[in-house]
Structure 1
Amino acid sequence: MTGRRRLIPRPFSRARVIPIASAAACTAVIASLLAGWGSLPGTGDSGEKDPITVMTWAPEDTKATNMPGMPAMAEAYARWVNSRGGIRGHHLRVLTCNERNDSVYAAQCAQRAVDEGAVAVVGSYSQFGRAFMSPLEVKGIPFIGGYGASDEEFESPLSYPVNGGQASLLAGNGRQLVGDCKRVALVRPDTIQGDQMPSLLNSGLTSGHRQPAKDIKAPEDGTDYSSEVNRALDGVHADPAVYGSPRADGKADGACVSASLGDHTDAFFDSFRRLQEDNLRVRVASVLGSVGQSLVNRTGGSAGPLEGADITGWYPVASDHRWDPMRKVITDFAFDDNRIDPADQGVQTTWIAYTVLRSLVEQLDDQGTEDITSHALQKALDRGDRAVDTGGLTPKLRWRDEDMLAVQDFPRIVNGTVTYQVVRDGELAAARQGFVNVTSTLERRHSDD
């Protein structure tokens, strides 16, 4: 990304081999939890079929957004399926890579996937799609269920997204705010990725006949956002006839601030909280990935600035029973790995992406295909003989040409749904049941709004 500080590459560590854990104690429990999810991985001799090598990468220990739970979830998933004999007899070998929020490392992670024979990259995070997609495209390696942090994930014919990425979250957040807000300020990163955010949020606002948001650029890796808070709050109380008089709870009707700064959203709300006289009069909002339950807890729970916040996500709220199978796998196979937060959208996306991989391998096995190659996976994805059921965590997924949505700049989106959540009594809860389809909002959006 333009202006980003480059790091000096260091050699990657050797790939870790995921151990095969005994399944005797938990097979019955997991089978019960996953009943109705289609056929389970086989339990035949591990020597009967070749292993499947895949990679999951994400940034860790950086000054910007970090997603350590994604590779950790991938490793736990591999332990689980391998404890059951693999996916239809194919043991799963997971390579992980620290992408470091750097284009050089993103390209190196992709090249390592190529060099070590990965048949897919699954459930990964990177903003540098241009750097990582080229090596994968040269070798025909599909990119399955990325986080949706780069444009190329919604452009490359080798990318198979499971969500609508930043586009659906921002458009959905704009639509969610229509009912509560007459004036919105958007605080977003001063980056190429951040430059897309205003038009996306505004597509949702204007669909409800609201004015476009006030665009406030902020450093992606800032530690104090007092200046941005003051700019966001500027004019909030200038005209009570427009923005409303303060309510009994101290908030001003119609005045809203939506902040989406990744890992540094917490620093923004810390600055916001310190300007207590003003921030109590303003409704706040964000998207999951920038805000989560851990941040709500750290900022004071029900007494903090996020109480009552409108939050937009891709998936059901973390307490939803549809996440029970994932939670069971984390409990039994993550071995107290504190990188994995089951409420984190990166962890959730990785779980869904590996669910897609498992479904594809099962489809190929049903067709008599024993050699699971990148080409075989790509053909199965493109053909879409059977929609992938993610257990209700997303709509059923397919990536045929007819499944692609007509969204400007994001032609590979097949899932244009979001969920509306709210912070209620210090807990993230569903603001409404079911998915909200923002496809029409995205299709009407213009990138130069």
Structure 2
Amino acid sequence: MTGRRMTSLLAYATAAATGAALLTGCGVLPGVSGGSREPLTVMTWAPDGTRATNMPGMPAMAQAYARWVNAEGGIAGHELRVLTCNEQNSSAGAAACARRAVRENVVAVVGSYSQHGRAFMAPLEAAGIPYIGGYGLSEDEFTSHLSYPVNGGQASLIAGHGMQLAESCRRVSLVRPDTVAGDRLPTLLNSGLQRSRHRTATDIPAVEDAGEYTEKASEAREKAGDDKGCVTAVLGERTQTFFDSFRRLPDSDDDAEVRISSVLGSVGQPLVDRTGGSRSPFEGAYVTGWYPDASDKAWTPMLKVIREHAFEDNRIDPADAGVQTTWIAYTVLKKAVESVGAEEVTPLRVARALDRGEEIDTGGLTPPLRWRYEDMLGATDFPRIVNSEVTFQVVRQGRLVAQKPGFVDVGETVRSAP
């Protein structure tokens, strides 16, 4: 073998070994071609492989975003490094992810999902790490001075859903998780219903990770009645399980007047597709969302990034509310880092950039976002909501489409909830 041939083979082996080492890193996405400044490390967490709601598309979207932005030279010259963590749908898991974020010296936690706000916000606050664009499940996301929500969370969805149902439903049954987070939902739904002087909904708590819901489904249908009755279920991934039980009830096919409904995150386009499209049991269902429907042209930049940098990663569905929230959260991070204008980006500098009123244009996916005191809703339990707009959607011919164009502001409804 010639010396040149040997040198070539050794160089190839070294490059291959280096690549393998990068690929086997636990939960770390290395940069593609970032800038010359110090790397920028962030974390995105979400539950995966659990018996309740799983959101693998959120960290996957974060990784695709990093590949894209690094291919463009990074954020303000900084290579973006994304750490991921499985939150496991538990307070212990959420706390563990937060502690790891502190150990890894991240500048922010971005576009993450957890209902265990008390468990993860305390470690982040102690370290001064901002939490940008969380999914909006926990009240702590709307009270902590270091949280920067991009939507109105479950509060705006549920209050808005009450407003949506009040226009069409005579009686409403609400099936929701029998958890601390779920306990707040009936009050919010009723605040929306009562904006139109509607009667309150029947509250039906249910086990979050049950294998079937026949008893709860029967109770919900009975309480809703068959005269313009509506059954709404907000059970995350188990919403499909609930409606499977619902449609199997005796004579349920004859109850044409019983309408089903939910909110994005519990029902979305991926679920409609999996359950038959236009033949899905969700055909005709009312759904309240935070953002425009997935066919809106405002999503074009995200779709381009997914197409070019997700490498056919089937965890990423562009119609998924978690994926969409992660995209918007990283849009906020990018703008905040660019506004810092310093060689070293720290958690404090990122938080200050957002606190001083840096306005974030999300290209029509939300209203312009800004977190000054005067921009906040100031609702008793959700003071840091800055985006109180939702969209009313409906499933028609197997597609989630706008029931009415544009956004609906539910700020006053959320603020009036007792």
Which TM-score applies when normalising by structure 1? 0.85
- Secondary structure in 2 matching 1:53: strand
Match of 1:186 among 174, 182, 203: 174
The answer (yes or no) to whether the contact 2:46–2:113 under 8 Å persists in 1 is yes
Q: How does 1:345-356 map to 2 (within 5 A)?
A: 345-356=321-332
Structure 2 equivalent of residue 380 of structure 1:
353
Q: How does 1:359-398 map to 2 (within 5 A)?
A: 359-365=335-341, 369-384=342-357, 386-398=358-370
In the TM superposition, residue 303 of structure 1 has moved relative to its aligned partner by 2.8
In the TM superposition, residue 272 of structure 1 has moved relative to its aligned partner by 1.4
Match of 1:307 among 266, 283, 295: 283
Report sequence identity in percent.
61
- CA distance in 1: counterparts of 2:108 and 2:378, whole angstroms: 26
Match of 1:110 among 98, 102, 106: 98
In the TM superposition, residue 295 of structure 1 has moved relative to its aligned partner by 1.5
- CA distance in 1: counterparts of 2:348 and 2:199, whole angstroms: 47
The AA in structure 2 aligned to 1:395 is P
The yes-or-no answer on 1:18 pairing with 2:30 is yes
- CA distance in 2: counterparts of 1:106 and 1:327, whole angstroms: 29
- CA distance in 2: counterparts of 1:201 and 1:297, whole angstroms: 27
Structure 2 equivalent of residue 162 of structure 1:
150
- Secondary structure in 2 matching 1:51: strand
The yes-or-no answer on 1:46 pairing with 2:46 is no
- Secondary structure in 2 matching 1:54: strand
Unmatched segments (≥5 aa) in structure 1: 1-12, 22-44, 238-251
Structure 2 equivalent of residue 437 of structure 1:
409
The answer (yes or no) to whether the contact 2:173–2:231 under 8 Å persists in 1 is yes
In the TM superposition, residue 305 of structure 1 has moved relative to its aligned partner by 2.4
Residues 295 and 17 of structure 1: CA distance in aligned 2, closer, same or farther (over 3 Å): closer
Output one character per residue of 1:189-219: Cα deviation in whole Å (capped at 9) or x when no partner.
1111110000000000000110000001111
The answer (yes or no) to whether the contact 2:168–2:228 under 8 Å persists in 1 is yes
- Secondary structure in 1 matching 2:78: coil
Q: How does 1:1-400 map to 2 (within 5 A)?
A: 14-20=26-32, 46-47=35-36, 49-237=37-225, 252-275=226-249, 276-365=252-341, 369-384=342-357, 386-400=358-372
- Secondary structure in 2 matching 1:397: coil
In the TM superposition, residue 353 of structure 1 has moved relative to its aligned partner by 0.3
The AA in structure 2 aligned to 1:373 is T
In the TM superposition, residue 19 of structure 1 has moved relative to its aligned partner by 4.2
Match of 1:422 among 357, 380, 394: 394
- CA distance in 2: counterparts of 1:284 and 1:79, whole angstroms: 40
Output one character per residue of 1:265-296: Cα deviation in whole Å (capped at 9) or x when no partner.
00011111212335533111100000011211
In the TM superposition, residue 105 of structure 1 has moved relative to its aligned partner by 1.4
Structure 2 equivalent of residue 403 of structure 1:
375
Residues 279 and 408 of structure 1: CA distance in aligned 2, closer, same or farther (over 3 Å): farther
Residues 439 and 159 of structure 1: CA distance in aligned 2, closer, same or farther (over 3 Å): same
- CA distance in 2: counterparts of 1:289 and 1:122, whole angstroms: 18
In the TM superposition, residue 253 of structure 1 has moved relative to its aligned partner by 4.5
In the TM superposition, residue 17 of structure 1 has moved relative to its aligned partner by 3.2
In the TM superposition, residue 222 of structure 1 has moved relative to its aligned partner by 1.0
The answer (yes or no) to whether the contact 1:280–1:305 under 8 Å persists in 2 is no
> Which range moved further: 289-298 or 308-317?
289-298
The answer (yes or no) to whether the contact 2:62–2:327 under 8 Å persists in 1 is yes
The answer (yes or no) to whether the contact 2:132–2:147 under 8 Å persists in 1 is yes
Q: CA RMSD in A?
A: 1.5
The answer (yes or no) to whether the contact 2:272–2:280 under 8 Å persists in 1 is yes
- Secondary structure in 2 matching 1:125: coil
The answer (yes or no) to whether the contact 1:272–1:279 under 8 Å persists in 2 is no
- CA distance in 2: counterparts of 1:183 and 1:145, whole angstroms: 34
Structure 2 equivalent of residue 243 of structure 1:
none
- CA distance in 1: counterparts of 2:28 and 2:118, whole angstroms: 27
> Which range moved further: 177-186 or 297-306?
297-306
In the TM superposition, residue 88 of structure 1 has moved relative to its aligned partner by 1.6
Output one character per residue of 1:158-201: Cα deviation in whole Å (capped at 9) or x when no partner.
10000000000000000001110110000101111110000000
Output one character per residue of 1:293-312: Cα deviation in whole Å (capped at 9) or x when no partner.
12112333323321111100
How many residues are paired up? Answer: 393
The answer (yes or no) to whether the contact 1:270–1:299 under 8 Å persists in 2 is no
The AA in structure 2 aligned to 1:79 is R
